[in-house]
Structure 1
Amino acid sequence: MRQNIYDDPTFFEYYKELRSTGITFNDFVEQPALKALLPDLKGLTVLDMGCGFGKLASYMVEQGAAHVTGADISSKMLSIAPKLPEITYIHAPIEELNFEAESFDLIVSSLAFHYVADYDRLMAQIAKWLRSGGTLVFSTEHPITTAKLDMEGWVEDEHGERLHYAIDNYGEEGQRSTHWVVDNVIKYHRKVSTLVNGMIAHDLIVQHIDEPESIPEGLEKMPKLTQERRKPSFILFKAVKK
């Protein structure tokens, strides 16, 4: 069975409420950085892997994408995703998707690949599905964040002030278990070199890497986002198929 925390009733209600506020790390750090890496979307056929509530899929349609296929493991999230004629939703785990070769001009994924155990197979499939000259853009949790076996990195003083972020077990790749609203949320830690070399191995040419900080609006509405300069939460990649 693939992990599906997003259909857990407690987690889903929490996550839906959080994202509805529009005041999150996604809104002010990850999504602005991801959108900045997207190519001109006019006329493109797109695959959104881990599309969630469909907000990014809708955005890409608004920017001129001809068609977006959105895939997600969560039936609850897909049930409230925008229903547009240019979007087709698939209820399936990322690992079980199957498409014809050279089906897409762009493949995009927002904070989903750290849930996938077999990264090399994932990159092989993406390279197969992309057309020549097609683009891959994805974000994932930064390896600094996922490195420690307990995924608890901030060291605080007696007043709860954050002193520094501790990194350990960086070279020990593999499964991590953490508490995020619910217990035993499984993620996979990979070194930056593994993320990059996994693309190179499948003829994906890395064009850009970003470790984003907050946009100005985020610093006003979420002052704690200043910590992104001390320790990045996300890393993003843009690559093109030969």
Structure 2
Amino acid sequence: MNTDTLTLNKTSWDAAAERFFGRTSLPEFGPHAPREDELHLFGDVTSCKVLELGCGSGHSLLYMDQQGAGELWGVDLSPKQLEAAAKVLASSSSSVTLIESPMEQDPGLPHNYYDIVYSIFALGWTTNLQQTFTNVHTYLKQGGLFIFSWEHPLYNRARLSDDQLVIHKSYHEEGPYDHEAWQLPAIMQQVKLSTYLNALIHQGFKIDYVIEDVRLPEDPLEWQANRWYSYDKAKLLPTTLIIKCQKI
């Protein structure tokens, strides 16, 4: 666990929390990606104990509450995000527990306890992917689900030039990087698709679905303002990776 990176990212997220309030949350998995009301990856969550890694402003947990989940647990690196989440979830009908912690560190969460652990467009912030997967496996009950989404690992390797994709970084190069679309100093992690899959298999998960589909709006003007996840680039390359697996 890289404490310098975590400190930098915590500071960055505290500063950016207001800008990302309610952004990229269930039923959305990511930009230009199919939604949960289309995919039905979670199934019936009635009375389920759910844990979100990188819970942000709490809107995905609010969605789980609206679907009838029994217990809502959220972990996030940023205290500013957790303050926002506490307000968003203040009137929740479910039990709510919010914990400040990086996802690669077990802050004392119960083991073999959760029906579902999930992360919506946050997993790329971990400084230790294998340790994060180890934690998730420990938290879940036998047969419990782990569902996560993140920017597709091919997406930032290419740029759009004259309606053609130009590879400007090696796909084989993994590790920490300063994302050019992030406005503040922060470090994310580049991980190949095969690395995600092999790490999950090694940890003892059974992979149910890998989703790379793109869902484009009928009106491209809806996404004209998003310079990073542009409509034209998304026509050629998936923006979002979604994986569903279960503890066996």
Q: Normalised by the size of structure 1, how large is the TM-score?
A: 0.82
2:111 equivalent to 1:104: no
User: Aligned-residue CA RMSD in angstroms?
Assistant: 2.7
The answer as to whether partners of 2:29 and 2:121 remain within 8 angstroms in 1 is no
2:227 maps to what in 1?
none
Give, in whole Å, the separation in 2 of the partners of 1:34 and 1:114.
24
2:15 equivalent to 1:14: no
1:44 maps to what in 2?
48
Report the CA distance shift for 1:39/1:219 in structure 2 as closer, same or farther (over 3 A).
Answer: farther
The answer as to whether partners of 2:121 and 2:150 remain within 8 angstroms in 1 is yes
2:109 equivalent to 1:93: no
1:222 maps to what in 2?
223
Q: Which residue of 208, 219, 242 corresponds with 1:236?
A: 242
Query: Could you tell which deviates more after superposition, 54-63 or 209-218?
Result: 209-218
Give, in whole Å, the separation in 1 of the partners of 2:118 and 2:175.
23
Give, in whole Å, the separation in 2 of the partners of 1:61 and 1:13.
22
Report the CA distance shift for 1:130/1:219 in structure 2 as closer, same or farther (over 3 A).
Answer: farther
Q: Normalised by the size of structure 2, how large is the TM-score?
A: 0.81
2:144 maps to what in 1?
134
The answer as to whether partners of 1:218 and 1:225 remain within 8 angstroms in 2 is no
Higher helix content, 1 or 2: 1
The answer as to whether partners of 1:140 and 1:236 remain within 8 angstroms in 2 is yes
Give, in whole Å, the separation in 1 of the partners of 2:34 and 2:83.
24
- AA paired with 1:117? T
The answer as to whether partners of 1:34 and 1:138 remain within 8 angstroms in 2 is no
1:200 maps to what in 2?
201
- AA paired with 1:227? K
- Residue 85 of structure 1, CA deviation: 4.9
- Residue 7 of structure 1, CA deviation: 0.5
1:154 maps to what in 2?
159
Query: CA deviation digits over 1:37-88, x for unaligned, max 9?
Result: 2131011101011010111101111111101101111222221222225222
Report the CA distance shift for 1:38/1:25 in structure 2 as closer, same or farther (over 3 A).
Answer: closer
Report the CA distance shift for 1:27/1:195 in structure 2 as closer, same or farther (over 3 A).
Answer: closer
Give, in whole Å, the separation in 2 of the partners of 1:25 and 1:126.
19
The answer as to whether partners of 2:159 and 2:165 remain within 8 angstroms in 1 is yes
The answer as to whether partners of 1:37 and 1:238 remain within 8 angstroms in 2 is yes
Q: Secondary structure at the match of 1:80?
A: helix
Query: CA deviation digits over 1:81-127, x for unaligned, max 9?
Result: 22225222112221223323201010000111111121111111111
Identity of aligned residues (%): 24
In structure 1, list runs of 5 or more residues that go unmatched.
none
